[in-house]
């Protein structure tokens, strides 16, 4: 039992110490210089705050505690806090203040071995200012993919600090804002629209920017620290003439859909009318070329079926096979191009079969018409004759069926003959003939039937 009580006391003490240390975390203050000092970065792991001041005039660092007992202060450099030098402070009630301090050093009050001790590194920002001028796109950029910026003051001085362990300098990251215009693609609206790109970067002259899709100026502002001290730099480039190309495309396939379309294979039935449409970042995109070729034959790409210069092309596929349609879009000078869009199509082989019997008017929707089953058939013509050669029916659409009537009346039961001519998916003319047995029900036979 005593052991348990002892542990509880220690747990309570730990919680109390944690509360005290947490309370001390915000007790350093920095004043002086021109403007308001800025807490630029907090390194939680090393319990370090990096502060910026603008000029060192009247700069002070204060620490407020719950006790009026004078505190000992220390200053450290790149050799670390363990090698810190003690410095004089002034006690004003519960606040201890150091004055006449220098930038480029770390300051603290407390023991290095105490995990509650926190540190302050001071930087005079007025020594690390810069001037931005004559912003332009670097000649070393790849204008088709991305660009880099350059300026007359591309060298921006580094600001460094050391954590209490010392030895390795750390760079304080700046923040610049880069903005420029480009075009953004909308899948829903199928169009490009103008938009502004805004990026926050550490170094505006050492970053890769997506190439703009329209003519634009580039703007650089910053850094965030100079903005705080009222000296933000802003520079704008001359108008940049865009050359990068971005392309999207889609297809519209028009084929005949009919209940009697069938046959083997998963391909599209011929004739298939396909419209290919391109969308790009006009007016930068200027040259459009569609190329359609057979991808299932040797050297098909080198021997295209069609090469069409334009945004939109419509082509009717009548022959079976595998096809590829490729789009290439380039800017006016041909410096940049985009050939990423391509489509593949599979046009199925021809299939055509005809029934040998049907029962007109017997069961509606069930074998009550003479209708071929087909796929990839063009230039279709069909005739039906009776046994004396008289024409009973003529049609040119394979999707259409014959209901067994002539002149609005059913023809008698018996054997009839069909002749079908068509062109297959290899472009060859075909002819198919055969017999049809018409089987009229008793109900239909009692109705008026046309005599041949």
Q: Are 96 and 109 in contact (CB under 8 A)?
A: yes
% of the chain beyond a pLDDT of 70: 91
Q: Are 251 and 342 in contact (CB under 8 A)?
A: no
Q: How large is the average pLDDT for residues 61-70?
A: 90
For residue 433, the SS3 value is strand
Q: Are 377 and 424 in contact (CB under 8 A)?
A: yes
The answer to whether residue 22 scores a pLDDT higher than 50 is no
In order of 211, 271, 351, 360, 404, the CA distances from 357 in angstroms are: 68, 28, 19, 10, 11
Residue 125: exposure state from Cβ atoms within 10 A (0-12, 13-18, ≥19) = buried
The answer to whether residue 365 scores a pLDDT higher than 80 is no
> What is the distance between the alpha carbons of residues 39 and 25, in angstroms, rounded to a whole number?
13
In order of 112, 259, 410, the CA distances from 371 in angstroms are: 96, 10, 16
pLDDT at 449: 57
Q: What's the pLDDT band for 98 if we cut at 50, 70, 90?
A: very high
Say which residue the tokens 């730990």 belong to: 14
User: Where do the H-state alpha helices sit in 34-156?
Assistant: none
Tens-place pLDDT, residues 401-446: 999 999 889 999 999 999 999 999 888 999 999 999 999 877 765 5
pLDDT at 151: 83
Q: How large is the average pLDDT for residues 99-108?
A: 95
Q: What's the pLDDT band for 293 if we cut at 50, 70, 90?
A: very high
pLDDT at 160: 96
Q: How large is the average pLDDT for residues 10-14?
A: 39
Query: What tokens appear for 37 in the block?
Result: 């000092």
pLDDT at 257: 77
The answer to whether residue 154 scores a pLDDT higher than 60 is no
Query: What tokens appear for 199 in the block?
Result: 């990026």
pTM: 0.75
> CA 209, 214, 217, 221 torsion: positive or negative?
negative
Ramachandran class of 392: left when φ > 0, alpha when ψ lies in -120 to 50, beta otherwise: alpha
Q: What's the pLDDT band for 18 if we cut at 50, 70, 90?
A: very low
Among 111, 11, 26, 17, smallest CA distance to 62 is for 26
pLDDT at 15: 40
CA atoms within 13 A on the CB side of 289: 12
Q: How large is the average pLDDT for residues 331-342?
A: 94
Query: What tokens appear for 140 in the block?
Result: 């070393």
Q: Are 135 and 237 in contact (CB under 8 A)?
A: yes
- DSSP E strand stretches across 295-347: 306-309, 312-317, 321-331, 337-347
Of 62-76, 149-163, 199-213, which gets the smallest average pLDDT? Answer: 149-163
Tens-place pLDDT, residues 211-225: 999 999 999 999 999
The answer to whether residue 54 scores a pLDDT higher than 70 is yes
> What is the distance between the alpha carbons of residues 339 and 409, in angstroms, rounded to a whole number?
61
> What is the distance between the alpha carbons of residues 265 and 347, in angstroms, rounded to a whole number?
9
Query: What tokens appear for 188 in the block?
Result: 């829903």
> CA 306, 307, 310, 312 torsion: positive or negative?
positive
Of 127-141, 228-242, 251-265, 341-355, which gets the smallest average pLDDT? Answer: 251-265
The answer to whether residue 452 scores a pLDDT higher than 50 is yes
pLDDT at 5: 37
pLDDT at 446: 54
pLDDT at 1: 35
Say which residue the tokens 């930038």 belong to: 103
Greatest pairwise CA separation for the chain in angstroms: 129
The answer to whether residue 265 scores a pLDDT higher than 70 is no
Query: What tokens appear for 289 in the block?
Result: 């070329």
Q: How large is the average pLDDT for residues 447-451?
A: 57
pLDDT at 62: 95
């Amino acid at each position: 039992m005593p052991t348990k009580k002892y542990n509880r006391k220690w747990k309570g003490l730990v919680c109390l110490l944690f509360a005290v240390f947490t309370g001390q975390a915000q007790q350093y203050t920095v004043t002086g210089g021109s403007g308001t000092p800025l807490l630029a970065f907090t390194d939680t792991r090393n319990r370090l705050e990096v502060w910026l001041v603008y000029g060192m005039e009247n700069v002070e660092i204060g620490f407020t505690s719950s006790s009026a007992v004078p505190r000992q202060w220390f200053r450290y450099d790149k050799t670390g806090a363990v090698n810190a030098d003690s410095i004089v402070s002034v006690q004003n009630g519960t606040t201890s203040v150091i004055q006449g301090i220098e930038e480029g050093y770390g300051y603290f009050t407390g023991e290095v071995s105490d995990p509650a001790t926190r540190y302050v590194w001071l930087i005079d920002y007025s020594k690390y200012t810069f001037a931005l001028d004559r912003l332009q796109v670097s000649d070393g950029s790849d204008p088709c993919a991305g660009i880099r910026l350059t300026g007359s003051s591309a060298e921006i001085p580094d600001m460094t600090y050391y954590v209490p362990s010392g030895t390795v300098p750390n760079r304080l990251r700046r923040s610049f804002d880069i903005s420029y215009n480009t075009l953004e693609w909308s899948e829903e609206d199928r169009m490009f629209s103008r938009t502004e790109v805004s990026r926050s970067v550490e170094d505006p002259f050492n970053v890769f920017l997506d190439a703009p899709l329209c003519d634009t100026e580039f703007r650089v502002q910053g850094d965030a620290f100079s903005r705080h001290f009222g000296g933000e730099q802003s520079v704008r480039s001359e108008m940049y003439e865009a050359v990068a190309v971005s392309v999207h495309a889609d297809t519209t396939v028009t084929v005949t859909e009919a209940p009697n379309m069938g046959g083997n294979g998963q391909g599209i039935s011929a004739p298939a009318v396909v419209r290919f449409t391109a969308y790009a970042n006009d007016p930068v995109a200027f040259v459009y070329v569609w190329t359609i070729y057979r991808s299932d034959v040797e050297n098909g790409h080198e021997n295209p079926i069609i090469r069409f210069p334009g945004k939109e092309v419509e082509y009717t596929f009548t022959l079976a096979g595998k096809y590829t349609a490729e789009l290439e879009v380039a800017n006016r000078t041909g410096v940049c191009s985009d050939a990423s869009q391509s489509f593949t199509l599979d046009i199925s082989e021809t299939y055509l079969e005809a029934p040998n019997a049907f029962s007109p008017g017997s069961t509606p929707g069930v074998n009550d018409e003479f209708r071929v089953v087909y796929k990839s058939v063009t230039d279709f013509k069909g005739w039906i004759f009776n046994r004396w050669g008289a024409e009973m029916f003529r049609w040119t659409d394979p999707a259409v069926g014959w209901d067994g009537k002539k002149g609005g009346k059913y023809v008698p039961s018996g054997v009839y003959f069909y002749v079908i001519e068509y062109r297959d998916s290899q472009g060859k003319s075909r002819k198919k003939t055969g017999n049809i047995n018409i089987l009229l029900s008793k109900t239909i036979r009692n109705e008026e039937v046309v005599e041949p």
